[in-house]
Structure 1
Amino acid sequence: MKRTGIVFVLALLFSIGITLVKDDPSPTGQGQSGGFFVHYEEFSSDYIEPRPVDVWLPPGYEKNLDKSYPVLYMHDGQLVFKKSTSPYTSFWYKPFDWYIDGVFWETDIIMSRLIQQGQIRPAIIVSIWFKKGNRGIEFMPQKPITDVPHPQWSIDGSQYMASDVISDRYLKFVVEELKPFVDRNYRTSSDRENTFIMGSSMGGLISAYAISEYPDVFGAAACLSTDWTHGDGAEISWYEEHWPEAGVHRLYFDYGTETWDAPFEPYQKKMDSVMRQHGYVHGVDWISRKFEGADHTPKAWRERLHIPLTFILGY
């Protein structure tokens, strides 16, 4: 499969003495607090439309040549990193008001700080951009829609008709195309215990679905402000019979109490019951947290991002 990387090697990289590793793609820029990016403008796929993908390599990656790293896959890649260091530099698509505010997760900044403080293991971040107009149909869990009857899934004109959803294809892209590419081109620890996935809102939905569909691939999933409200939470019922075993996986869920998050609590409590049913122990291999006053924005997720990162990457 053809992969086209847009390469802008900044003079700054050479001035600080970064040594490029043979067979590793070239860096496109350095974050303010360490680490650097590789940006693929058109990552092709047999399953979904091509889209940009960014890879963030943690501080020390270019020097510790014998070291392999865990990998965290994140959705909504346009918002994952700090604006000034992110390869996402133009607002060609603003589907929500919070794009206008220029608020980003700043995952590179938070990761670098936690690594420096010794709270987490250094890890590679792979951020997958969503394609304009496709976010909902790629993130809405597919089998819960086709297997759990609900009027919303079949009403003409409803937000997500069963025939339109392509999240199974999206996950095949991640697991069968993107992950093998990352494992070939970077020094990764590619086993389940070192492969994680994270997202917010519908990105939380697809992260939960990913670990359910591919329990041998993903060892942990972090789902922030998971929007279980679609179909009045009908997809949660599907997880009662389709959830990965406790003891070898870790799950993080949270929600706020304001704006879009306001109705989430009863749905998350229902999902918490599913976790208990499958033997998960809260605080050990599963966390579910409520954040009073938090709303449904990247700013809110950024402010608590250190919590799921520490849970899945902590020593």
Structure 2
Amino acid sequence: MRAITKVATGVALLLGAVQAWAEKAPQVSAGQLEQLQGVTFKSVQPRTVEVWLPDNVDGKKLAVLYMHDGQMLFDATTSWNGQEWRVDEVAQQLIDNGTTIPFMVVGVHNAGEHRRAEYFPQQAFDGLDEHGQQAFFEFQKQSGVPVRQPYSDDYLKFLVEELKPYIDRHYPVHTGPEYTFLMGSSMGGLISMYGLTQYPEVFGGAACLSTHWPGIHDLNNNPIPEAFRDYLEHKLPEANSRKLYFDYGDQTLDALYPPLQQAVDKVMAAQGWSSPQWQTRFFPGTNHSENAWADRLAIPLTFLLGRAELQGEE
């Protein structure tokens, strides 16, 4: 039976009107989930933030993993497609068997129809010519969402200047970059990469699953992947000073990714990145779905939070 979700009441990250969100609270089968609902932020529009806390870690400080697309992490009955990452089950097992240090997960819900604009790396977009920017706008239009220029710098500002300070004040966590990480998939992979490169002094690593290097859904005459590689060439942290994980499959939307990820890997190698601080993994036969990411979730979690890599957590 799934444990009852604990809903934190009367909590706002900043002063302001609290807006109610009529969302069904997800249930977890391991650990405890606190849902901070209707909070008001300065940098981005209000959305739900969920904090997952593991069992059996009394008295221990926790590392913190910030995950995007928080709607999809814990409970398939509350997600739009009936799938979930199974974060609570996988994370609790890794902590219990000593594979990883104790950690908590902060799941930030996406912005719905503005998700692509919020997660698209803004400085890479600014580096595109008019043709490239128009391709992104046209993709939004064809997808039936409002046309909006990327504002991912504001989203990262929210994570770093508003949400993280709140988490650091209210939970028993390690606050340094060596214990603070990002993870996401698809567009969430892009914003995880972007967060690490923009704030290496805050985040010690990022895991980017099925990273959506095309930016749109078409590779023909598409300058966006090259813009991302050019951004990385100029903005990657010093080689091996942080942890960076990529992976990809080759089915459904992931079918677009193999040559693009391989091109990114060349940039990483040219910049001097190597194992164990950088890892790219290919999962042939896997598709672009929460089920696929859940099946391999233990791998990036261990990469970022493995006990062998992090010491002094007690």
**In structure 2, how many angstroms separate the alpha carbons of the residues matched to 1:262 and 1:110?**
26
**In structure 1, how many angstroms separate the alpha carbons of the residues matched to 2:52 and 2:237?**
28
Match of 1:133, SS state, is helix
Q: Quote how far apart the aligned CAs of 1:150 are.
A: 5.8
Tell me which residue corresponds to 1:32: 29
In structure 1, the gaps of 5 or more residues are: 7-27
In structure 2, the gaps of 5 or more residues are: 1-13, 142-146, 216-222, 308-314
The runs of at least 4 consecutive aligned structure 1 residues that moved more than 4 Å come to 3-6, 160-163
Tell me which residue corresponds to 1:164: 149
**In structure 2, how many angstroms separate the alpha carbons of the residues matched to 1:304 and 1:150?**
38
**In structure 2, how many angstroms separate the alpha carbons of the residues matched to 1:156 and 1:145?**
9
Pick aligned residue for 2:75 from 68, 82, 86? 82
Q: Give the % identical residues.
A: 39
- Closer, same or farther: CA 29–78 of 1 in aligned 2, 3 Å: closer
Pick aligned residue for 1:247 from 240, 243, 255? 240
Pick aligned residue for 1:153 from 133, 151, 155? 133
TM-score, normalized by length of structure 2?
0.82
Pick aligned residue for 2:37 from 9, 34, 41? 41
Greater CA drift, 190-199 or 36-45: 36-45
- Closer, same or farther: CA 157–207 of 1 in aligned 2, 3 Å: closer
Tell me which residue corresponds to 1:310: 302
**In structure 2, how many angstroms separate the alpha carbons of the residues matched to 1:251 and 1:134?**
26
**In structure 2, how many angstroms separate the alpha carbons of the residues matched to 1:218 and 1:166?**
20
Amino acid at match of 1:166: Y
**Deviation readout 1:272-315 (Å, 9 max, x if unpaired):** 1121122111x310110110100000000000000000110001
- Closer, same or farther: CA 76–123 of 1 in aligned 2, 3 Å: same
Match of 1:189, SS state, is coil
**In structure 2, how many angstroms separate the alpha carbons of the residues matched to 1:301 and 1:180?**
29
**In structure 2, how many angstroms separate the alpha carbons of the residues matched to 1:5 and 1:190?**
29
**In structure 1, how many angstroms separate the alpha carbons of the residues matched to 2:296 and 2:19?**
32
Q: Quote how far apart the aligned CAs of 1:154 are.
A: 3.5
Q: Quote how far apart the aligned CAs of 1:31 are.
A: 3.5
Q: Quote how far apart the aligned CAs of 1:75 are.
A: 0.3
Matches within 5 A, 1:1-315: 1-2=14-15, 31-33=28-30, 35-61=31-57, 63-64=58-59, 67-83=60-76, 89=78, 94=80, 99=81, 102-149=82-129, 151-154=131-134, 157-159=137-139, 164-230=149-215, 231-233=223-225, 234-281=227-274, 283-315=275-307
TM-score, normalized by length of structure 1?
0.82
Amino acid at match of 1:58: P
